[in-house]
A and B are shown apart, each in its own frame.
Chain A
């Protein structure tokens, strides 16, 4: 229970309308999109100014109240699930795009700006903010930076980390820290920006984000290639990269996913195909057209059963509708969906896909795999019903096996969903005892009371 005195202090700092503690509010801020147990917070704070944000952090620390920052709550690793009785700090009251600078190609935003809103605003000026996580229609930039979110364009354009030029954030005492700059080059001080990206709200609370923008690509072309076997699809990916062609997106769908999408959307996908690649090239028209011809030839020579090159925007949209509906199509098959994001070096994708099939078989669970073949980030998607206790145990065993396999192949537990609570206990497997100790020391130094999103990344006993 939060004391009345503390509630009053929050109300004074944030305004009464921005401090929520009705049972219906507390109940609805206990979960995010991860399949982890919900936890009820004690209060929900929604600051509407930077000062109020800083004051909220300071008050939490002074009163030892654990604090979890939340944007849209679309996290897939439980990173926004609060601590019981703690505070949830909402950023959606801070959603102003402060500046879009066309001359210097950067944007300054508050943390609650929705990713797709910024993307649309810069596109209207002929600029491009490439990171496009699947939840971009609702996800916030603060959350994207805190999780180092990825998306479909990782291969060519990188991930959120590659676009963060600078940050203003509050440390646990509520002091404003400024790092990075509006310039392309910046060599002053520690690279605190690098430390904060992907820190999942455990080291500080973002107040402002400076994001790099690039010119919007003038031309695009989409290609859909269907393969009779997994090997041919993987060989095509390898061949494309070997030819030094860098598509903006290079997406993969396995047979299970193809069938689910076809049953759901009747888009005319070949139900019998073992795998499909969806490829988009962008850039200067001449180069895009030339690369498209080469990609087509490469896929054919590697044994593609059929190829479809989108001739216009409408056809291009149809290609991407198939990819975008993958998650929906799978989601409709079973009540519970566990979306994993184990990632391996690109060349290990065939081995990883084969391993996932073996794991599904061995543990008797349904897994559909799709994802970003170009950057090695696959999404094995487990379909289950969390009410079925026996099956749920098999699902958990399958997840462990997927993690082990990804690490064995030189990969990582999470390409883009973050560590959160779901993967914190596996982190040592991927890194080392020294890494965990070092991270723990860092955390203790910057957050001595362990109130900043405790239990995420570093399990509480190591913090």
Chain B
């Protein structure tokens, strides 16, 4: 075991970022976890104070601090609302890495992150087997949302309604592709992302369709890995760096103008986390790639000029849009996905109350704190249902997983789609 002085020393790295917090407490207004618990150690100001405590050796409870740090959705609501501009997520990710390095990873996390996620090929094979066997443990729950639930009482699944693994993942449907630019003169590379590849391949297919329609060249390298956010969120810097290096290598083989993803979390991870936490030798390449990484809606609206249309007030189908935190709060992208929806004349967008309130997913947060996650998600589900929409659109597959669970458990009859799917649908009908 490394000594506590070492930890104090390591935390010292964060000092200049920590002192920026003036403890005004405004983060209490927006933190989804704090809204459920009312506990200071659950809100950014409290967590920053805990890190300060470790740094100044005023607090001798690294396990407790780690537990509190993990009790966070990394949604960025606090930093988006912070008067002093504290870089909360960056501090928390670095601190999670320092603490996991100091305390070690749990056996379960080691198995999942290092044994599986760090090995993209193995991860692909395991999930393909899973897709074949899942029907033995689960049964359909909601045919419109497309969720399943456990056949028998399961401590892992609890009462969850989950999106099953796709029968054929995207990387089997379209292993790789390299097509030059045509009419648009632009070429994009596509980063698929695990959830889209394994749960929602239709989103990737819609993206391909839209890009082909717009005359955009495409580079889709085979063997892509995870963006690394599950690893770095657990403080597993080694696996994160391995995945970044793996992906950088994949994409170094092609030439393209932009790297696009249809996953808000992948986009914000590549743009904001890769450049600062990749291995030092990889940082210049990561920064270069990050600078040309865009959400698919940003690319279509900003670079291809999908027109921002007026609302189709007479359209029959009502759709409502949920802003993923990693798109709106992290990258300030909110108008573009709405423009994609408006481009399809079959849909009328009705805004829900607080469309940018976090859905409560937060990756592993949902596994560790399902009750809190569910309470946050239920509020979201109520706001969605209050619009009486037929379709809930959102730009992040992780939000889709959470909202599917919440809506399905409420028995809602509502399809959950990605804006690019709605846009593609409009193109094929138009």
Instruction: Give the interface of A toward B (CB within 8 A).
Output: 20, 22-25, 27-33, 38, 46, 72-74, 90, 92-93, 114, 116, 135, 137-138, 327-328, 331-332, 335-337, 385-387
Contacts and interface: CB of A to CB of B under 8 A. Distances in A.
A331 B84 contact: yes
Nearest to A324: B83
B23 A32 contact: yes
9 closest A-B pairs by beta carbon, nearest first, are A328-B83, A28-B46, A137-B29, A335-B19, A28-B40, A23-B61, A331-B84, A24-B64, A138-B28
Contacts of A386: 19
Contacts of B20: 335
Contacts of A23: 59-61, 64
Contacts of B60: 23
B230 interface: no
Given A332-B84, A332-B85, A28 B41 contact: yes
A385 B19 contact: yes
B68 A24 contact: yes
Contacts of A385: 19
B223 interface: no
A20 B24 contact: no
A384 to B, nearest CB: 11
A343 B249 CA distance: 63
Contacts of B85: 328, 331-332
A20 B28 CA distance: 19
Contacts of A74: 24-25
A33 B64 contact: no
A143 to B, nearest CB: 11
Contacts of A20: 39
Given A27-B50, A33-B23, A138 B39 contact: no
Nearest to A112: B38
B26 interface: yes
Contacts of B68: 24
Interface string B5-36: 00000000000000110111110110000000
Contact of B50 (A24, A72, A337): A24
Nearest to A70: B40
B29 to A, nearest CB: 4
B180 interface: no
A31 B40 CA distance: 11
Contacts of A73: 25, 40
A448 B111 CA distance: 60
29 contacts: A20-B39, A22-B41, A22-B64, A24-B59, A24-B65, A24-B67, A24-B68, A25-B40, A27-B49, A27-B53, A29-B40, A31-B49, A32-B23, A33-B24, A38-B49, A73-B40, A74-B24, A74-B25, A90-B38, A92-B38, A135-B24, A137-B26, A138-B29, A328-B83, A331-B22, A331-B84, A331-B85, A336-B22, A385-B19
Most buried by B among A28, A93, A138, A327: A28
Contacts of A46: 38
Contacts of B46: 28
Most buried by B among A72, A327, A337: A72
A329 to B, nearest CB: 9
Interface of B: 19-20, 22-26, 28-29, 38-41, 45-46, 49-50, 53, 58-61, 64-65, 67-68, 83-85
Contacts of A116: 29
A331 B23 contact: no
A336 B84 CA distance: 10
A370 B29 CA distance: 24
Nearest to B38: A92
A284 B46 CA distance: 45
A237 to B, nearest CB: 27
B41 A25 contact: yes
Contacts of B22: 33, 331, 335-337
B277 to A, nearest CB: 23
A138 B25 CA distance: 8
Given A24-B59, A72-B25, A138-B28, 19 more contacts: A22-B64, A24-B64, A24-B68, A27-B59, A28-B41, A29-B40, A32-B23, A32-B25, A73-B25, A93-B38, A116-B29, A135-B25, A135-B26, A137-B26, A328-B85, A331-B84, A331-B85, A332-B84, A336-B19
A116 B26 CA distance: 12
Given A24-B65, A46-B38, A31 B53 contact: no
Contact of B19 (A24, A27, A93, A387): A387
Contacts of A33: 22-25
A332 B86 CA distance: 9
A28 B49 contact: yes
Contacts of A22: 41, 64
Contacts of A337: 22, 84
Nearest to A139: B25
A349 B151 CA distance: 73
B17 to A, nearest CB: 10
A29 B23 CA distance: 12
Contacts of B39: 20, 25
A137 B45 CA distance: 15
A74 B38 CA distance: 14
Nearest to B46: A28
A31 B23 contact: yes
Nearest to A31: B23
Contacts of B45: 28
Most buried by A among B25, B40, B68: B40
B26 A138 contact: yes
A29 B49 CA distance: 10
Contact of A24 (B26, B61, B83, B84): B61
A32 B25 CA distance: 8
A328 B25 contact: no
Contacts of A327: 83
Contacts of B59: 23-24, 27
Contact of B41 (A24, A31, A72, A93): A24
Most buried by A among B39, B49, B64, B85: B39
Nearest to B81: A137
Nearest to A338: B22
A239 to B, nearest CB: 33
Nearest to B18: A335
A28 B19 contact: no
Nearest to A326: B83
Nearest to A48: B38
Nearest to B66: A24
Contacts of B41: 22, 24-25, 27-28
A138 B44 CA distance: 14
A463 to B, nearest CB: 27
B86 to A, nearest CB: 10
Nearest to A29: B40
A41 B2 CA distance: 30
Nearest to A88: B40
B246 to A, nearest CB: 36
Contacts of B84: 328, 331-332, 337
A24 B63 CA distance: 10
